[in-house]
Structure 1
Amino acid sequence: MTHALDDLGWGPFFADQVTDDDAGLVPMRIAAVHRSRLMAETGAGQVRLDLPIHASTADYAVGDWVLAKGDTRVVARLLDRRALLRRRTEGADTRQLIAANVDTLFVVTSCNDDFNPARLERYLALANEAGTDPVIVLTKIDKVDDPSDWIDRARALQRGLQVVALNAKSPDAADVLAPWCGAGRTVALVGSSGVGKSTLLNTLSGRDAQATGDIRESDAKGRHTTTSRSLHPVAGGGWVIDTPGMRTLHVADVAVGIEMLFAEITELAPQCRFRDCTHAHEPGCAVQAAVRAGTLDAGRLDRWRKLHDENRDNTPVQTGPRGNRTTLPRGSKRR
């Protein structure tokens, strides 16, 4: 099937980056990232792209737009991203790229023990920071008598958060998610293994794009059926990026995303007596007062503190005179 560049998600943001010096280069969108090569959508199908010497596939994300040489299919330039989802990996200084230029992030969880507010809030913080609209997708509603309690719990995770509930195996699932899909739109699926991401991908794409697996009903844990990130066309228009289940999700440099996620705490903080209040034990803390008054959930505050502290410890700091700053990890001393 042939797709126009606009259908692939190309638009003025990317077109404005192309200059006269790029004559002869072809815009392509990264569809899969492998150890030593890239696959890209051209509008007329997928092609293999090679990298220039000393370049690494780790610098590219599914959903990226690149300019490539039409004859050799070697990447010449990576275009600036409109949005980038990334996470910190344990023991690494760099962050792993999850997906680029995503309009909507479908955070998939299910109506069972997989529903974990602390983990879901991490996904929301990443989406907020990237400027990508998050939507909680509750699956396996056919396994519960009434999903309304699960929907209410999901909506409580962030002010104004959109939540949908569906059976991923039902053809109606594509209709439920249709408002976020369409020509030129890109959505991404994230969540734990076994929540139905691969089934949902197959439903959206109208074909068996990904193998599916069952979960263990004893602990709601699933097997990894998606092993790499990939870009697939949505049957009704648009594109979907599938991602492997993530066992850990560490955050770094998402301060704005956390402020948006915990808006009720962010708005109370200026009312505290001390500007650097940690909302733990200081007198005159407006946040603790809200907890005592029952207008702020204590568990919500605990999760804010853990996420806030982790982000602070993982985010590099800038030191040195203006114009000659050095980036250091938290806790490092300049020599």
Structure 2
Amino acid sequence: MTKFNRFNHLKSNSFTQKSAVINTPEQPQSAATLTSLKQLGWNGFFQQQLITEAADYACIARVSAHHRSQYQLLTESGELSLAIHQNMPEMTVGDWVLLDKQHQFVSLLERHSLFSRKAAGSKVEQQLIAANLDWVFIVSSLNDDFNVNRIERYLALVNEAKVTPVIVLTKVDLCDDLSPFITALRELDAKLLIETVNGLDKQSTQALSHYCSEGKTVAFIGSSGVGKSTLVNALLGESSQLTSAIRQDDSKGRHTTTSRSLHLTHSGGLLLDTPGMRELQLADCEEGLNETFADVVEYAKQCRFADCQHLHEPGCAVQVAISNNQLTERRLQSYQKLMREQALNGASIADKRAKDKSLSKMYKRVQSNARVNKRG
């Protein structure tokens, strides 16, 4: 059975085409009007896959939102909704999919980037956040929310996903002195892209507009209350996302975005807002961590022993760098902690996958034996 025929019988995957948006006095004009796949982020990487794609398809679509029971898709012809079925591959906002003439799922195209994390809480599984991004805005406000350790976590995930990070510091109008914040970030990476904005000032947010050029996809991540939704509204020129004030006693925010979704801008780019993530656990991102902590890794290469723990071993270049104020003890401890965390979570997820695969094989074997016994 071909890939096309295999999915063609899944009637529960049927789409419902939504009617075109008509601008009326009761319905405000949207931020932008879709005109082409290029505006949605289509490029040569995905076009090349069509040459080798064996399945028949009639339509190309991009996932614009992920709800509990369905995906929302954007196409050149309009917006579609797709009910989630267990036989479909797991998808996330930003993915590209191929559809047949009946608007049924055919296949998922290979991603050029994937942003994910370990699921919050005690769940032993990986959660997909977004795919096919060009930039990730790591948003932090210039108040008590600013936390270097948390920013390092975000950087590790973004670097693992092979996406360029941009640190966006919000609420600059409420900050009397920027220098301590900038200095702290430059200690992480001297070449780190940093923008400071006031989300309520249109002129201030223009600094972010050039990242949102036609066909480019930008994701916003950060904890609750840092101003992500306010920035989305500012860049779209409309109140497409709810906003709320922070708690004054601890500068912590309230969740205002509850699901991930893509928004078209007037400049042709796409914005992806994500719910605030208070808990951010790492898994299987050693490469991203090594890139984020490139300074620690470089010093470690100069240690006398390959298995140096950077404690009291002779010839430890890392401890020498700390003594010479070229590296901070906090930086080393953060790297070691995150490396242990991602290794432990990664092993747990791999173990669960292996158990699930073994259990699935057992179910199939039992079902097969039952069919044989019934025929006998």
Same fold (TM over 0.5): yes
Partner of 2:118: 88
Matched AA of 1:8: L
How far 1:84 sits from its partner (Å)?
0.3
More strand by share: 1
Partner of 1:279: 310
Instruction: Find out whether 1:222 has 2:262 as its counterpart.
Output: no
**1:51·1:74 contact (CA, 8 Å) conserved in 2?**
no
**1:128·1:134 contact (CA, 8 Å) conserved in 2?**
yes
**1:108·1:190 contact (CA, 8 Å) conserved in 2?**
yes
Partner of 1:5: 37
Q: 1:17 aligns with which of 49, 56, 67?
A: 49
**1:51·1:75 contact (CA, 8 Å) conserved in 2?**
no
Instruction: Find out whether 1:47 has 2:100 as its counterpart.
Output: no
Q: 2:232 aligns with which of 181, 189, 201?
A: 201
**2:198·2:205 contact (CA, 8 Å) conserved in 1?**
no
Deviates more, 1:151-160 or 1:260-269: 151-160
How far 1:300 sits from its partner (Å)?
1.1
1:146 and 1:159, CA in 2 relative to 1: closer, same or farther beyond 3 A? closer
Instruction: Find out whether 1:188 has 2:219 as its counterpart.
Output: yes
**1:9·1:184 contact (CA, 8 Å) conserved in 2?**
yes
**1:151·1:165 contact (CA, 8 Å) conserved in 2?**
no
Q: TM-score, normalised by structure 1?
A: 0.90
How far 1:274 sits from its partner (Å)?
1.2
Partner of 2:268: 237
How far 1:173 sits from its partner (Å)?
3.8
Q: Distance in 1 between matches of 2:188 and 2:53?
A: 47
**2:197·2:205 contact (CA, 8 Å) conserved in 1?**
no
Q: RMSD across aligned C-alpha pairs, in angstroms?
A: 1.9
Alignment of 1:46-195 (within 5 A): 46-51=79-84, 54-55=87-88, 59-71=90-102, 73-89=103-119, 90-195=121-226
Partner of 1:315: 346
Indicate the percent of aligned positions where both proteins have the same amino acid. 45
Ranges in structure 2 where 5+ consecutive residues have no aligned partner = 1-32, 356-376
Partner of 1:35: 68
**1:181·1:236 contact (CA, 8 Å) conserved in 2?**
yes
- Secondary structure of the 2:301 match is helix
Alignment of 1:283-298 (within 5 A): 283-298=314-329
- Secondary structure of the 2:49 match is coil
Ranges in structure 1 where 5+ consecutive residues have no aligned partner = 319-326
Matched AA of 2:233: N
Q: Provide, for residues 123-169 of structure 1, a one-character-per-residue CA deviation record: whole Å limited to 9, x for no partner.
A: 10011111100000000000012323322222322241100100011
1:314 and 1:282, CA in 2 relative to 1: closer, same or farther beyond 3 A? farther
1:33 and 1:283, CA in 2 relative to 1: closer, same or farther beyond 3 A? same
**2:219·2:271 contact (CA, 8 Å) conserved in 1?**
yes
- Secondary structure of the 1:241 match is strand
After TM superposition, what 4+ stretches of structure 1 lie above 3 angstroms from structure 2? 19-24, 50-53
More helix by share: 2
How far 1:35 sits from its partner (Å)?
1.5
Q: Distance in 2 between matches of 1:74 and 1:193?
A: 36
How many residues align structurally? 319
Q: 1:265 aligns with which of 287, 291, 296?
A: 296
Deviates more, 1:121-130 or 1:287-296: 287-296
How far 1:317 sits from its partner (Å)?
9.1
Instruction: Find out whether 1:255 has 2:286 as its counterpart.
Output: yes
Q: Distance in 2 between matches of 1:180 and 1:280?
A: 42
Q: TM-score, normalised by structure 2?
A: 0.81
How far 1:271 sits from its partner (Å)?
1.2
CA radius of gyration, larger in = 2
Deviates more, 1:172-181 or 1:32-41: 172-181
